[in-house]
C-alpha cells in the first residue's frame, strides 16, 4: 500500500528550529492540507508547540479548523476569497482577511454589514509579487482603511517576497519599498498594527527583516528553497513508502515511458513501482530528461535510479545487479504538497 509516512518528532523539531530562528511571533502557513502532512494533524502539533497564529489560503480550511476545535487560534486567510459564499464562510468562522484593494474592502464591508459580523483584516502591499495587494502608489486608498469603521478593522499589514531564496538585490528592494510605506503611515499618525513580510526563505536568510512576525510554511516540513537541511538545521518531513509491482529485463535500445523520450543504453533489469505524480513523486524537467538526470529511490537499503520521467501512476527504476522482486518495499523522497489526498498518511 502506498503510504506517506510522517514522523511527528521531525515536525516538532522543525517548529523549535523555526521559533529560535524567528525570534518573533510565527504565522504557521498550513495551506495545501498542511503541506501534505494533513491540515488538522499539523494544526494540533502546532498548538502543542505553542503556535497560536495559523494561515491558510481557502475559506473552507478556516471552517474545518474551527469545526475541529481550533477556536482560540487566530487564522489569517492569505488569499482574497473569490465568491460571496467564501467571504461569508470566512466571516462566520472569524478569519482575518487579507485586503489588497479598495474594491475588495468595499465588498467585504458590505457583506459584513449584511451579516452583522464585523470583519478583521491585514492589508497586503504589492512590493513586486504582482498578485494581491495595494501598489505603493495606492497609498491614500490603503490609508483610508485604517480609519475607524463598524464593519472592518485593520489590525496588521504585510507584503510577500517573490525571490527571497536567491535574489538578494530584489529582496532588499522589496523590503525597502515596504518600509517606506510603513514610514508614511506612521508619519500620518497611523499605527499599522502587526507588520510581517518574511516567508520561509527570508526567515532564515534575513533576520533583520523579521519585523513583528514571520510567515512560515514550507520550512515546517523541512523545505526551504535554495537552502539544504544541513544549512537550516531542519529535517525533511515525510517519506513515501510503496511497493515494487513488477520486475523484468529489457534489451538495450528498448524505449521506456511515454513519448519514447528514453531509450535504454544497455540491457537493463527494471522495476515498476506503484507510485507516480499522483503520489507526489519529484518532478523532472525536460532538460533533466535529455541529460538523464533522474531522482532515485531506496529498495532494500540500496539506491535505484529512475530511467525515465515519472508517469501518473508509476515510476520505473534501474535495478540491474540488485536482488529485487515484486512486493519489495520502496522508499522515496517526494514533494509533500503534491501528495494526493487519497494517499494514506501514517504518523509515527
Phi-psi region of 143 (alpha: psi -120 to 50; beta: other; left: phi over 0): alpha
Residue 279: per-residue pLDDT: 72
Residue 282: per-residue pLDDT: 64
Distances (CA, A) of 190 to 71, 127, 186, 197, 281: 30, 20, 5, 19, 48
Angle, to 10 degrees, between the axis of helix 59-67 and the axis of helix 84-92?
Answer: 30
- Which residue in 346, 243, 344, 333 sits closest to 7, CA to CA? 346
Q: Which residues contact 147 (CB under 8 A, 6 or more apart)?
A: none
Asked if domains 8-232 and 239-347 share a fold, the reply is no
- Fold adopted by 8-232: TIM Barrel (3.20.20)
d(CA 106, CA 87): 12
Residue 291: per-residue pLDDT: 55
The three cell numbers locating residue 275: 507510485
Alpha helices (runs of H) in the chain, residue ranges in sequence order:
8-22, 31-35, 39-48, 59-67, 84-92, 102-115, 139-144, 168-187, 200-205, 229-232, 286-291
What radius of gyration, in Å, describes the C-alpha atoms of the chain? 23
Reported pTM: 0.90
Domain borders along the chain are 8-232, 239-347
The alpha carbon of 297 is separated from its chain's Cα centroid by a whole number of angstroms, namely 24
User: Reduced to 3 DSSP states, what percent helix, strand and coil does the chain have, rounded to the nearest 5?
Assistant: 35, 25, 40
- Fold adopted by 239-347: Lyase, Ornithine Decarboxylase; Chain A, domain 1 (2.40.37)
Question: Which residues on adjacent β-strands are paired with residue 134?
Answer: 125
d(CA 55, CA 65): 11
d(CA 234, CA 16): 9
Residue 310: per-residue pLDDT: 80
d(CA 308, CA 294): 7
CB burial of residue 333 (10 Å; 0-12, 13-18, 19+): middle
The alpha carbon of 175 is separated from its chain's Cα centroid by a whole number of angstroms, namely 21
> Residues of the chain whose pLDDT is less than 50?
none
Q: What is the pLDDT of residues 117-161, one digit of tens each?
A: 999 999 999 999 888 999 999 999 999 999 989 999 999 999 999
Amino acid at each position: 500500500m502506498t503510504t506517506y509516512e510522517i514522523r511527528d518528532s521531525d515536525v516538532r523539531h522543525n517548529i523549535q528550529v523555526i521559533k529560535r530562528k524567528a525570534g518573533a511571533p510565527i504565522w504557521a502557513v498550513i495551506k495545501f492540507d498542511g503541506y501534505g502532512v494533513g491540515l488538522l494533524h499539523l494544526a494540533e502539533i502546532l498548538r502543542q508547540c505553542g503556535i497560536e497564529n495559523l494561515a491558510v489560503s481557502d475559506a473552507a480550511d478556516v471552517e474545518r479548523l474551527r469545526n475541529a476545535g481550533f477556536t482560540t487560534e487566530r487564522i489569517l486567510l492569505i488569499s482574497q476569497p473569490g465568491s460571496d459564499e467564501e467571504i461569508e464562510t470566512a466571516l462566520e468562522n472569524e478569519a482575518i482577511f487579507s485586503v489588497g484593494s479598495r474594491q475588495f474592502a468595499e465588498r467585504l464591508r458590505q457583506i459584513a454589514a449584511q451579516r452583522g459580523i464585523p470583519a478583521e483584516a491585514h492589508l497586503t502591499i504589492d512590493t513586486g509579487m504582482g498578485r494581491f495587494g495595494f501598489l505603493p502608489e495606492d497609498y491614500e486608498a490603503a490609508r483610508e482603511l485604517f480609519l475607524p469603521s463598524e464593519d472592518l478593522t485593520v489590525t496588521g499589514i504585510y507584503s510577500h517576497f517573490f525571490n527571497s531564496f536567491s535574489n538578494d538585490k530584489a529582496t532588499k528592494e522589496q523590503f525597502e519599498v515596504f518600509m517606506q510605506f510603513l514610514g508614511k503611515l506612521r508619519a500620518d499618525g497611523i499605527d499599522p498594527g502587526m507588520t510581517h513580510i518574511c516567508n520561509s526563505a527570508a526567515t532564515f536568510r534575513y533576520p533583520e527583516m523579521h519585523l513583528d512576525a514571520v510567515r512560515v510554511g514550507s520550512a515546517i516540513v523541512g523545505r526551504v528553497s535554495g537552502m539544504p537541511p544541513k544549512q537550516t538545521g531542519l529535517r525533511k518531513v515525510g517519506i513515501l513508502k510503496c511497493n515494487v509491482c513488477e520486475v523484468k529485463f529489457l534489451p538495450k535500445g528498448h524505449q521506456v515511458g511515454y513519448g519514447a523520450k528514453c531509450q535504454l543504453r544497455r540491457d537493463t533489469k527494471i522495476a515498476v513501482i506503484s507510485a507516480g505524480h499522483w503520489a507526489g513523486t519529484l518532478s523532472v524537467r525536460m532538460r533533466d530528461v535529455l541529460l538523464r538526470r533522474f531522482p532515485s529511490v531506496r529498495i532494500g537499503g540500496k539506491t535505484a535510479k529512475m530511467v525515465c520521467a515519472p508517469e501518473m501512476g508509476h515510476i520505473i527504476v534501474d535495478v540491474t545487479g540488485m536482488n529485487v522482486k515484486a512486493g519489495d518495499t520502496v522508499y522515496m523522497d517526494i514533494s509533500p504538497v503534491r501528495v494526493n489526498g487519497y494517499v494514506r498518511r501514517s504518523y509515527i
